[in-house]
Amino acid sequence: MYPKNRIELIQAIFQQTHLQYYLEIGCRKGRSFLPIKAKYKMVVDPAFAIPFYRKWKWGIKVPENANNQYFEETSDDFFAKRSSLIKQLDVVLVDGLHTYRASLLDALNSLKYLNKDGIIIFHDCLPPNRAAAMPTELFPTKKEKRSIPGWTNEWCGDVYKTIIYLRKAMPESLDALVVNTDYGLGILRLKTKIDASQLVINEELFDEIDQIDYDLLLADTKNLINLKDSQYTRVILEEMAEK
pLDDT tens-digit series, residues 87-139: 899 999 999 999 999 999 999 999 999 999 999 999 999 999 999 998 877 67
Query: Domains in the chain, ordered, with CATH?
Result: 6-241 (3.40.50.150)
Mean pLDDT of 1-21: 95
Name the band, by pLDDT with cuts 50, 70 and 90, for residue 211: very high
Q: Does the pLDDT of residue 157 top 90, yes or no? A: yes
pLDDT for the residue numbered 152: 84
pLDDT for the residue numbered 138: 67
Average pLDDT of the chain is 94
Rounded to the nearest 10°, the torsion over CA 71, 96, 167, 192 is: 20
Mean pLDDT of 41-64: 94
Please tell me the least confidently modeled range out of 6-10, 67-71, 143-147: 143-147
Mean pLDDT of 214-218: 97
pLDDT for the residue numbered 148: 78
Indicate the pTM of the whole model.
0.95
